[in-house]
Structure 1
Amino acid sequence: MDTLIRVTDAVKSFRETRLSALRTPQEFFDVNRISRPADLNTATSRISYNTRYFSGNYGLIIAILAIYAVISNPLLLISLAFLVGGFVAVNKFGADPLISDRGITQKTLYTVLFCVGLPLLWWSSPLGTFFWLVGASGVLIVGHACMIEPGIESEYATVQDAV
């Protein structure tokens, strides 16, 4: 019951902090504000402002790409399910020795889980998936942040920071 309360509090905290920063799709995909930056300074200032302004949307993009990456790599999905399921099963059922007093203990079960699960995880290429996720989200986020002109409210952001 205590775990359920902590999970509920974590979800509420996430909703209040990250989901409140989400901008509407009409604002995020506003084609009227798309233009090529004039120079590197303009691109840098757009990226700086838009990454803060659209941080919730960019976080959602990263989450969607991460889910896609895990689903599209079935071996990675199987190895993650094996490791997580193994941890849950060992924690739930492995507290007492299974065979007599010196039989299969929880430590032995964790050792077997690591000896089978870690090579399976390594074979499923999680580093390749991670670097694909970093590259794909970086290109999408920097491309969007660079091409979208900041709104009028960006002019007042510097005034509010000075006060």
Structure 2
Amino acid sequence: MEALMRVTDTVRSFRESRLSALRPVSEFFDHHRISKPADMNTATSRISYNTRYFSGNYGVIVGVLAVYALITNPLLLISLGFLIGGFTAINRFAPEPMQVGDHVVTQKSLYTGLFVIGIPLLWFASPVATFFWLVGASSVLILGHASVMEPGIESEYATVGDAV
């Protein structure tokens, strides 16, 4: 019951902190504000402003790309499920040593077996390549969007508030 309360509190705090920063889809995809930056300084200032302003939307994009990467790499999904499920099962069902025939099975030997099977399985699933794909795809999408979106009128007032 306590674990459920913790999960509920975590979801609530995530919703309050991150999802409150979500901007409406109509504002995120406002085609009237799209323009080519005049120079690198303009692009840099747009990226700086838009990554803060649309941080919630960009977080959703990274999350969707991560889910897509897991779905399209079933071996990675299976290996992560095997390792996480193995850790959970060992902690829940085998906290104490068990006698199996003439052998005593300890948590240490179960973890060793989990690693001997799970690490090569994870290695073949290429999580490093998936991670770098996620970083690259997210960077291209986020930096591309942030550099071509002109900041709104509210950005002018944001600099006035900082100067005061």
Coordinate RMSD, CA, aligned: 1.1
Matching residue of 1:53: 53
SS of 1:134's partner is: helix
SS of 1:99's partner is: strand
Matching residue of 2:5: 5
Distance in structure 1 (CA, Å) of the matches to 2:76 and 2:56: 27
Q: Structure 2, unaligned stretches of length 5 or more?
A: none
TM-score normalized by the length of structure 2: 0.96
SS of 1:95's partner is: coil
Matching residue of 1:70: 70
Q: How far did 1:57 drift?
A: 0.2
Alpha-carbon deviations, 1:71-111, whole Å to 9, x = none? Answer: 10011011001001101110111112222696111111011
Matching residue of 1:42: 42
Matching residue of 2:113: 112
Distance in structure 2 (CA, Å) of the matches to 1:118 and 1:69: 19
- Superposed, 1:133-148 pairs within 5 Å as 133-148=134-149
SS of 2:58's partner is: helix
Q: How far did 1:7 drift?
A: 1.1
Q: How far did 1:15 drift?
A: 0.4
SS of 1:11's partner is: helix
Matching residue of 1:159: 160
TM-score normalized by the length of structure 1: 0.97
Distance in structure 2 (CA, Å) of the matches to 1:93 and 1:5: 23
Q: How far did 1:161 drift?
A: 1.2
Deviating beyond 3 angstroms after TM superposition, the runs of 4 or more aligned structure 1 residues are none
Distance in structure 2 (CA, Å) of the matches to 1:42 and 1:109: 57
- Of all paired residues, the percent bearing the same amino acid is 70
Q: Structure 1, unaligned stretches of length 5 or more?
A: none
Of the structure 1 ranges 125-134 and 5-14, higher mean CA displacement relative to structure 2 is found in 5-14
Alpha-carbon deviations, 1:29-69, whole Å to 9, x = none? Answer: 00000000000010000000000000000000000000000
Matching residue of 1:98: 98
Matching residue of 2:127: 126
Question: AA paired with 2:106?
Answer: T
Distance in structure 1 (CA, Å) of the matches to 2:73 and 2:54: 29
Distance in structure 2 (CA, Å) of the matches to 1:51 and 1:143: 11
Number of equivalent positions: 163
Distance in structure 2 (CA, Å) of the matches to 1:17 and 1:162: 26
SS of 2:105's partner is: coil
